[in-house]
Amino acid sequence: MDKKTNVKHIPYATQWIEDDDMQAVSETLKSDYLTTGPKINEFEQAFAQYVGARYAVAVSSGTAALHAACFAAGIKEGDEVITTPMTFAASANCIIYCGGRPVFADIDPHTYNIDPKEIEKHITPKTKAIIPVHFTGQPCDMDAINDIAKEHHLIVIEDAAHALGATYKSKKIGGISDMTCFSFHPVKHITTGEGGMITTDDENLYKKLIQFRNHGITRDREILEHDDGPWYYEQQFLGYNYRMTDIQAALGISQLKKIDRFLSRRREIADRYDKAFADMEWIITPYQIKEAQSAWHLYILQLKPEYLGMSRKKAYIALQQRGIGVNVHYIPVYYHPYYRRMGYRKGLCQNAENLYERIITIPLYPKMSDEDVEYVIDAVKGDI
Protein backbone atom coordinates (compact mmCIF):
# COMPACT_ATOMS: atom_id res chain seq x y z
CA MET A 1 0.00 0.00 0.00
CA ASP A 2 1.30 3.42 -0.93
CA LYS A 3 0.58 5.46 2.24
CA LYS A 4 0.20 8.75 0.43
CA THR A 5 -2.27 7.66 -2.22
CA ASN A 6 -3.98 4.62 -0.67
CA VAL A 7 -3.16 2.72 -3.85
CA LYS A 8 -2.14 -0.92 -3.60
CA HIS A 9 0.24 -2.72 -5.93
CA ILE A 10 -1.19 -6.07 -6.88
CA PRO A 11 0.52 -7.90 -9.74
CA TYR A 12 -1.54 -10.02 -12.13
CA ALA A 13 0.51 -13.04 -11.08
CA THR A 14 3.58 -13.82 -9.02
CA GLN A 15 5.48 -16.73 -7.50
CA TRP A 16 5.24 -18.03 -3.95
CA ILE A 17 8.66 -18.91 -2.53
CA GLU A 18 8.87 -20.13 1.07
CA ASP A 19 11.68 -21.09 3.45
CA ASP A 20 11.75 -24.75 2.42
CA ASP A 21 12.18 -23.71 -1.24
CA MET A 22 15.18 -21.59 -0.30
CA GLN A 23 16.55 -24.42 1.82
CA ALA A 24 16.32 -26.82 -1.13
CA VAL A 25 18.16 -24.42 -3.44
CA SER A 26 20.80 -23.70 -0.84
CA GLU A 27 21.49 -27.43 -0.29
CA THR A 28 21.99 -27.94 -4.01
CA LEU A 29 24.36 -24.99 -4.18
CA LYS A 30 26.52 -26.77 -1.58
CA SER A 31 26.35 -30.12 -3.42
CA ASP A 32 28.65 -31.57 -6.13
CA TYR A 33 26.24 -30.84 -8.97
CA LEU A 34 24.97 -27.47 -10.11
CA THR A 35 23.60 -28.86 -13.36
CA THR A 36 22.45 -32.24 -14.74
CA GLY A 37 22.89 -34.04 -11.45
CA PRO A 38 20.55 -36.09 -9.27
CA LYS A 39 17.95 -33.31 -8.86
CA ILE A 40 17.01 -33.39 -12.56
CA ASN A 41 16.05 -37.08 -12.41
CA GLU A 42 14.25 -36.63 -9.14
CA PHE A 43 12.21 -33.69 -10.48
CA GLU A 44 11.40 -35.52 -13.71
CA GLN A 45 10.22 -38.61 -11.87
CA ALA A 46 8.09 -36.69 -9.38
CA PHE A 47 6.58 -34.64 -12.20
CA ALA A 48 5.82 -37.65 -14.42
CA GLN A 49 4.16 -39.36 -11.49
CA TYR A 50 2.10 -36.29 -10.63
CA VAL A 51 0.65 -35.86 -14.13
CA GLY A 52 0.39 -39.58 -14.82
CA ALA A 53 2.91 -39.92 -17.65
CA ARG A 54 5.68 -42.52 -18.13
CA TYR A 55 8.41 -40.00 -18.92
CA ALA A 56 9.20 -36.37 -18.20
CA VAL A 57 12.08 -34.32 -19.64
CA ALA A 58 13.14 -31.13 -17.85
CA VAL A 59 14.37 -28.26 -20.03
CA SER A 60 15.36 -24.62 -19.65
CA SER A 61 11.96 -23.04 -20.42
CA GLY A 62 8.42 -23.74 -21.59
CA THR A 63 9.45 -22.42 -24.99
CA ALA A 64 12.35 -24.91 -25.12
CA ALA A 65 9.84 -27.63 -24.20
CA LEU A 66 7.64 -26.68 -27.18
CA HIS A 67 10.65 -26.48 -29.51
CA ALA A 68 11.89 -29.89 -28.37
CA ALA A 69 8.41 -31.41 -28.79
CA CYS A 70 8.08 -30.02 -32.34
CA PHE A 71 11.51 -31.42 -33.18
CA ALA A 72 10.67 -34.84 -31.71
CA ALA A 73 7.40 -34.81 -33.65
CA GLY A 74 9.46 -34.45 -36.82
CA ILE A 75 8.17 -31.00 -37.82
CA LYS A 76 10.29 -29.72 -40.71
CA GLU A 77 10.35 -27.39 -43.70
CA GLY A 78 7.03 -27.40 -45.51
CA ASP A 79 4.96 -28.92 -42.68
CA GLU A 80 1.84 -27.23 -41.38
CA VAL A 81 0.89 -27.29 -37.71
CA ILE A 82 -2.51 -26.13 -36.45
CA THR A 83 -2.72 -24.04 -33.31
CA THR A 84 -4.79 -21.26 -31.73
CA PRO A 85 -4.18 -17.51 -32.14
CA MET A 86 -5.40 -16.90 -28.56
CA THR A 87 -2.08 -17.77 -26.92
CA PHE A 88 1.41 -16.58 -26.12
CA ALA A 89 3.59 -16.32 -29.23
CA ALA A 90 5.76 -19.28 -28.14
CA SER A 91 2.97 -21.76 -29.06
CA ALA A 92 3.39 -20.75 -32.71
CA ASN A 93 7.06 -19.71 -32.73
CA CYS A 94 8.11 -23.29 -31.91
CA ILE A 95 6.64 -24.43 -35.25
CA ILE A 96 8.68 -21.82 -37.12
CA TYR A 97 11.87 -22.81 -35.24
CA CYS A 98 11.53 -26.18 -36.99
CA GLY A 99 10.80 -24.72 -40.43
CA GLY A 100 7.06 -25.40 -40.27
CA ARG A 101 4.17 -23.02 -40.86
CA PRO A 102 1.66 -22.22 -38.10
CA VAL A 103 -1.96 -22.46 -39.26
CA PHE A 104 -4.36 -20.67 -36.95
CA ALA A 105 -7.74 -22.25 -36.22
CA ASP A 106 -10.39 -20.13 -34.53
CA ILE A 107 -11.54 -20.50 -30.93
CA ASP A 108 -14.85 -21.49 -29.41
CA PRO A 109 -16.38 -18.19 -28.24
CA HIS A 110 -17.54 -19.73 -24.92
CA THR A 111 -14.46 -21.64 -23.75
CA TYR A 112 -11.92 -19.46 -25.64
CA ASN A 113 -10.11 -22.70 -26.53
CA ILE A 114 -9.35 -23.93 -30.05
CA ASP A 115 -12.52 -25.26 -31.70
CA PRO A 116 -12.12 -28.85 -33.00
CA LYS A 117 -14.47 -28.09 -35.92
CA GLU A 118 -12.16 -25.25 -36.95
CA ILE A 119 -9.15 -27.57 -36.72
CA GLU A 120 -10.81 -29.94 -39.20
CA LYS A 121 -11.42 -27.12 -41.67
CA HIS A 122 -7.70 -26.34 -41.82
CA ILE A 123 -6.33 -29.84 -42.36
CA THR A 124 -4.42 -30.27 -45.63
CA PRO A 125 -2.03 -32.98 -46.91
CA LYS A 126 0.78 -30.89 -45.37
CA THR A 127 -0.67 -30.92 -41.84
CA LYS A 128 1.61 -32.77 -39.45
CA ALA A 129 0.52 -31.86 -35.93
CA ILE A 130 -1.91 -29.98 -33.71
CA ILE A 131 -0.84 -27.79 -30.76
CA PRO A 132 -3.89 -27.17 -28.59
CA VAL A 133 -3.39 -24.67 -25.76
CA HIS A 134 -5.36 -25.10 -22.54
CA PHE A 135 -6.07 -21.40 -22.34
CA THR A 136 -6.34 -19.95 -18.81
CA GLY A 137 -5.96 -23.51 -17.46
CA GLN A 138 -9.22 -24.91 -18.83
CA PRO A 139 -8.58 -28.06 -20.85
CA CYS A 140 -9.45 -28.17 -24.55
CA ASP A 141 -11.90 -30.74 -25.89
CA MET A 142 -9.18 -33.41 -26.00
CA ASP A 143 -11.39 -36.33 -27.05
CA ALA A 144 -12.49 -34.45 -30.17
CA ILE A 145 -8.93 -33.28 -30.89
CA ASN A 146 -7.41 -36.74 -30.45
CA ASP A 147 -10.13 -38.27 -32.68
CA ILE A 148 -9.25 -35.80 -35.45
CA ALA A 149 -5.55 -36.52 -34.94
CA LYS A 150 -6.09 -40.26 -35.19
CA GLU A 151 -8.18 -39.98 -38.33
CA HIS A 152 -5.61 -37.78 -40.10
CA HIS A 153 -2.45 -39.33 -38.57
CA LEU A 154 -1.41 -36.14 -36.80
CA ILE A 155 0.73 -35.74 -33.70
CA VAL A 156 -0.77 -33.85 -30.76
CA ILE A 157 1.46 -31.60 -28.65
CA GLU A 158 -0.46 -29.98 -25.81
CA ASP A 159 0.72 -26.56 -24.67
CA ALA A 160 -0.14 -26.94 -20.99
CA ALA A 161 1.77 -23.88 -19.77
CA HIS A 162 -1.51 -22.75 -18.13
CA ALA A 163 -2.73 -26.17 -17.09
CA LEU A 164 -0.50 -27.90 -14.54
CA GLY A 165 -2.92 -29.81 -12.30
CA ALA A 166 -5.94 -29.41 -14.58
CA THR A 167 -8.02 -32.51 -15.28
CA TYR A 168 -9.95 -33.61 -18.35
CA LYS A 169 -12.53 -36.35 -17.75
CA SER A 170 -10.78 -37.02 -14.42
CA LYS A 171 -7.38 -37.55 -16.12
CA LYS A 172 -4.61 -35.07 -15.38
CA ILE A 173 -3.34 -32.96 -18.25
CA GLY A 174 0.09 -34.35 -19.11
CA GLY A 175 -0.84 -37.98 -19.56
CA ILE A 176 -3.27 -37.73 -22.47
CA SER A 177 -1.58 -36.87 -25.80
CA ASP A 178 1.68 -37.75 -27.56
CA MET A 179 3.51 -34.96 -25.76
CA THR A 180 2.54 -32.23 -23.28
CA CYS A 181 4.60 -29.11 -22.52
CA PHE A 182 4.72 -27.16 -19.26
CA SER A 183 6.35 -23.89 -18.15
CA PHE A 184 7.83 -22.95 -14.78
CA HIS A 185 8.02 -19.21 -15.38
CA PRO A 186 7.24 -17.37 -12.09
CA VAL A 187 3.69 -16.46 -13.18
CA LYS A 188 2.81 -20.14 -13.76
CA HIS A 189 1.59 -22.68 -11.18
CA ILE A 190 5.02 -23.64 -9.85
CA THR A 191 8.32 -22.01 -10.67
CA THR A 192 11.98 -22.78 -11.24
CA GLY A 193 12.79 -19.19 -12.26
CA GLU A 194 12.88 -20.24 -15.89
CA GLY A 195 12.12 -23.83 -16.76
CA GLY A 196 9.94 -26.26 -18.65
CA MET A 197 8.98 -29.92 -18.93
CA ILE A 198 7.76 -32.26 -21.65
CA THR A 199 5.81 -35.38 -20.66
CA THR A 200 5.19 -38.40 -22.87
CA ASP A 201 4.42 -42.12 -22.69
CA ASP A 202 6.46 -42.89 -25.82
CA GLU A 203 9.99 -44.19 -25.27
CA ASN A 204 11.25 -43.10 -28.70
CA LEU A 205 10.00 -39.56 -28.26
CA TYR A 206 11.53 -39.53 -24.78
CA LYS A 207 14.97 -40.50 -26.11
CA LYS A 208 14.81 -37.85 -28.84
CA LEU A 209 13.84 -35.16 -26.33
CA ILE A 210 16.71 -36.08 -23.99
CA GLN A 211 19.19 -35.89 -26.85
CA PHE A 212 17.72 -32.64 -28.26
CA ARG A 213 18.21 -30.74 -24.99
CA ASN A 214 21.93 -31.60 -25.08
CA HIS A 215 23.08 -30.60 -28.62
CA GLY A 216 21.85 -33.86 -30.18
CA ILE A 217 24.65 -35.68 -28.35
CA THR A 218 24.38 -39.26 -27.12
CA ARG A 219 26.64 -41.72 -25.30
CA ASP A 220 24.15 -44.56 -25.66
CA ARG A 221 26.35 -47.43 -26.98
CA GLU A 222 23.35 -49.06 -28.63
CA ILE A 223 22.63 -46.18 -31.01
CA LEU A 224 26.16 -44.90 -31.79
CA GLU A 225 27.01 -44.94 -35.49
CA HIS A 226 30.68 -45.61 -34.66
CA ASP A 227 32.46 -46.50 -31.43
CA ASP A 228 36.04 -45.32 -31.08
CA GLY A 229 36.33 -46.20 -27.40
CA PRO A 230 35.11 -45.45 -23.91
CA TRP A 231 35.60 -41.66 -24.38
CA TYR A 232 33.50 -41.55 -27.49
CA TYR A 233 30.18 -39.75 -27.88
CA GLU A 234 28.32 -38.58 -30.94
CA GLN A 235 26.30 -35.58 -32.03
CA GLN A 236 23.75 -37.20 -34.29
CA PHE A 237 21.56 -34.21 -35.14
CA LEU A 238 21.41 -30.49 -34.41
CA GLY A 239 20.20 -30.02 -30.85
CA TYR A 240 20.56 -27.16 -28.39
CA ASN A 241 21.71 -26.47 -24.86
CA TYR A 242 18.24 -26.55 -23.32
CA ARG A 243 19.35 -28.16 -20.04
CA MET A 244 17.79 -27.22 -16.73
CA THR A 245 20.20 -26.73 -13.81
CA ASP A 246 20.09 -28.86 -10.66
CA ILE A 247 19.56 -25.63 -8.73
CA GLN A 248 16.34 -25.05 -10.66
CA ALA A 249 15.28 -28.70 -10.37
CA ALA A 250 15.73 -28.56 -6.57
CA LEU A 251 13.38 -25.57 -6.50
CA GLY A 252 10.96 -27.42 -8.81
CA ILE A 253 10.86 -30.49 -6.55
CA SER A 254 10.13 -28.31 -3.54
CA GLN A 255 7.45 -26.32 -5.40
CA LEU A 256 5.75 -29.41 -6.83
CA LYS A 257 5.08 -30.63 -3.28
CA LYS A 258 2.80 -27.60 -2.84
CA ILE A 259 0.86 -27.87 -6.08
CA ASP A 260 -2.40 -29.05 -4.49
CA ARG A 261 -2.39 -26.21 -1.97
CA PHE A 262 -1.59 -23.71 -4.75
CA LEU A 263 -4.36 -25.10 -6.97
CA SER A 264 -7.02 -25.06 -4.31
CA ARG A 265 -6.21 -21.44 -3.45
CA ARG A 266 -6.45 -20.52 -7.15
CA ARG A 267 -9.86 -22.22 -7.34
CA GLU A 268 -11.00 -20.47 -4.17
CA ILE A 269 -10.15 -17.05 -5.61
CA ALA A 270 -11.77 -17.87 -8.96
CA ASP A 271 -14.96 -18.94 -7.14
CA ARG A 272 -14.97 -15.69 -5.19
CA TYR A 273 -14.60 -13.69 -8.43
CA ASP A 274 -17.36 -15.74 -10.14
CA LYS A 275 -19.78 -14.94 -7.31
CA ALA A 276 -18.79 -11.30 -7.04
CA PHE A 277 -19.22 -10.60 -10.76
CA ALA A 278 -22.25 -12.83 -11.43
CA ASP A 279 -24.69 -9.94 -11.10
CA MET A 280 -22.73 -7.43 -13.17
CA GLU A 281 -24.67 -7.06 -16.36
CA TRP A 282 -21.79 -5.85 -18.51
CA ILE A 283 -19.38 -8.65 -17.64
CA ILE A 284 -19.19 -12.23 -18.84
CA THR A 285 -17.30 -14.40 -16.33
CA PRO A 286 -15.31 -17.46 -17.49
CA TYR A 287 -17.35 -20.37 -18.80
CA GLN A 288 -16.37 -23.79 -17.49
CA ILE A 289 -17.01 -27.05 -19.34
CA LYS A 290 -18.35 -29.94 -17.28
CA GLU A 291 -15.83 -32.53 -18.46
CA ALA A 292 -12.84 -30.69 -17.03
CA GLN A 293 -11.45 -28.96 -14.00
CA SER A 294 -9.44 -25.83 -14.74
CA ALA A 295 -6.06 -25.14 -13.16
CA TRP A 296 -7.02 -21.45 -13.10
CA HIS A 297 -3.85 -19.85 -14.38
CA LEU A 298 -5.76 -16.73 -15.47
CA TYR A 299 -9.05 -15.07 -14.61
CA ILE A 300 -10.42 -13.16 -17.57
CA LEU A 301 -13.32 -10.73 -17.60
CA GLN A 302 -15.10 -10.30 -20.91
CA LEU A 303 -17.06 -7.10 -21.51
CA LYS A 304 -20.37 -7.86 -23.23
CA PRO A 305 -20.43 -6.52 -26.80
CA GLU A 306 -23.41 -4.26 -26.09
CA TYR A 307 -21.37 -2.53 -23.39
CA LEU A 308 -18.26 -2.04 -25.46
CA GLY A 309 -19.07 1.64 -25.70
CA MET A 310 -17.73 1.87 -22.14
CA SER A 311 -14.37 1.00 -23.61
CA ARG A 312 -12.08 -1.75 -22.45
CA LYS A 313 -9.23 0.72 -22.59
CA LYS A 314 -10.87 3.08 -20.08
CA ALA A 315 -11.54 0.23 -17.67
CA TYR A 316 -8.00 -1.07 -18.11
CA ILE A 317 -6.46 2.30 -17.31
CA ALA A 318 -8.78 2.89 -14.33
CA LEU A 319 -7.84 -0.46 -12.79
CA GLN A 320 -4.17 0.11 -13.53
CA GLN A 321 -4.35 3.48 -11.75
CA ARG A 322 -5.62 1.72 -8.67
CA GLY A 323 -2.47 -0.39 -8.66
CA ILE A 324 -4.09 -3.51 -10.08
CA GLY A 325 -1.89 -5.52 -12.42
CA VAL A 326 -4.32 -5.88 -15.28
CA ASN A 327 -3.30 -7.49 -18.53
CA VAL A 328 -4.74 -8.60 -21.85
CA HIS A 329 -4.27 -12.28 -22.66
CA TYR A 330 -3.74 -12.36 -25.55
CA ILE A 331 -3.16 -10.22 -28.57
CA PRO A 332 -3.92 -12.74 -31.36
CA VAL A 333 -0.52 -14.13 -32.35
CA TYR A 334 -0.85 -13.21 -36.02
CA TYR A 335 -1.43 -9.51 -35.18
CA HIS A 336 2.27 -9.18 -34.33
CA PRO A 337 4.37 -7.46 -37.01
CA TYR A 338 6.60 -10.51 -37.39
CA TYR A 339 3.58 -12.62 -38.36
CA ARG A 340 2.09 -9.92 -40.54
CA ARG A 341 5.33 -9.78 -42.50
CA MET A 342 4.87 -13.50 -43.17
CA GLY A 343 1.52 -12.75 -44.76
CA TYR A 344 -0.98 -13.42 -41.95
CA ARG A 345 -3.83 -10.91 -41.99
CA LYS A 346 -6.69 -9.68 -39.79
CA GLY A 347 -9.88 -11.62 -40.36
CA LEU A 348 -8.33 -15.10 -40.08
CA CYS A 349 -10.04 -16.02 -36.81
CA GLN A 350 -13.07 -13.85 -36.14
CA ASN A 351 -13.96 -15.24 -32.70
CA ALA A 352 -10.42 -14.71 -31.39
CA GLU A 353 -10.32 -11.20 -32.83
CA ASN A 354 -13.68 -10.29 -31.27
CA LEU A 355 -12.62 -11.69 -27.92
CA TYR A 356 -9.36 -9.75 -27.98
CA GLU A 357 -11.34 -6.47 -28.13
CA ARG A 358 -13.25 -7.24 -24.95
CA ILE A 359 -10.99 -8.94 -22.42
CA ILE A 360 -9.13 -7.93 -19.29
CA THR A 361 -7.14 -10.30 -17.08
CA ILE A 362 -7.33 -9.50 -13.36
CA PRO A 363 -4.92 -10.73 -10.65
CA LEU A 364 -4.97 -14.38 -9.63
CA TYR A 365 -2.16 -16.15 -7.77
CA PRO A 366 -2.11 -18.41 -4.70
CA LYS A 367 -0.27 -15.97 -2.46
CA MET A 368 -2.96 -13.34 -3.02
CA SER A 369 -4.63 -12.34 0.27
CA ASP A 370 -8.40 -12.22 0.78
CA GLU A 371 -8.02 -8.50 1.34
CA ASP A 372 -6.37 -8.06 -2.07
CA VAL A 373 -9.09 -10.16 -3.73
CA GLU A 374 -11.78 -7.90 -2.23
CA TYR A 375 -9.83 -4.80 -3.26
CA VAL A 376 -9.80 -6.04 -6.88
CA ILE A 377 -13.53 -6.86 -6.75
CA ASP A 378 -14.40 -3.39 -5.40
CA ALA A 379 -12.26 -1.75 -8.06
CA VAL A 380 -13.84 -3.73 -10.90
CA LYS A 381 -17.33 -3.00 -9.60
CA GLY A 382 -16.52 0.68 -9.41
CA ASP A 383 -14.63 1.07 -12.64
CA ILE A 384 -15.99 -1.28 -15.27
Ligand X SMILES: *Cc1c(COP(=O)(O)O)cnc(C)c1O
Q: Which residues bind ligand X (CB under 6 A)?
A: 61-63, 87-88, 90-91, 133, 159, 161-162, 183, 185, 196
The span from the first CA to the last CA of the chain, in angstroms, equals: 22
Question: Which secondary structure element, helix H or strand E, spans residue 72, and what is its range?
Answer: helix 62-72
Rank residues 218 and 294 by Cβ distance to ligand X and give the closer one: 294
Rank residues 133 and 384 by Cβ distance to ligand X and give the closer one: 133
Q: What angle, 0 to 180 degrees and rounded to 10, lies between the N-to-C axes of helices 246-256 and 19-29?
A: 150
CB of 290 to ligand X, least distance (A): 23
In sequence order, what are the residues at sequence separation of 6 or more whose Cβ sits closer than 8 angstroms to the Cβ of residue 57? 44, 65, 68, 197, 198, 199, 200, 206, 209, 210, 213
How many other β-carbons are positioned within 10 Å of the β-carbon of residue 221? 9
C-beta of residue 57 within 8 angstroms of C-beta of residue 50: no
Rank residues 63 and 199 by Cβ distance to ligand X and give the closer one: 63
Rank residues 159 and 372 by Cβ distance to ligand X and give the closer one: 159
Which residue lies nearest ligand X, judged by its C-beta? 62
CB of 65 to ligand X, least distance (A): 7
CB of 16 to ligand X, least distance (A): 17
CB of 83 to ligand X, least distance (A): 10
Rank residues 119 and 140 by Cβ distance to ligand X and give the closer one: 140
Residue from 128, 172, 188, 208 carrying the catalytic annotation: 188
- Concerning whether 188 is annotated as a catalytic residue, the answer is yes
Please name which of 216, 85, 103, 223 lies closest in space to residue 154, comparing C-alpha atoms. 103
C-beta of residue 242 within 8 angstroms of C-beta of residue 195: no
Question: Which secondary structure element, helix H or strand E, spans residue 55, and what is its range?
Answer: strand 55-59
Rank residues 161 and 364 by Cβ distance to ligand X and give the closer one: 161
| SS3 assignment, position 179 | strand
CB of 62 to ligand X, least distance (A): 2
Please name which of 67, 199, 85, 64 lies closest in space to residue 132, comparing C-alpha atoms. 85
CB of 334 to ligand X, least distance (A): 15
106 CB burial (10 A radius; 0-12, 13-18, 19+): buried
Q: Give dist(CA 350, CA 346) in Å, integer.
A: 8
Catalytic residue positions, numbered: 188
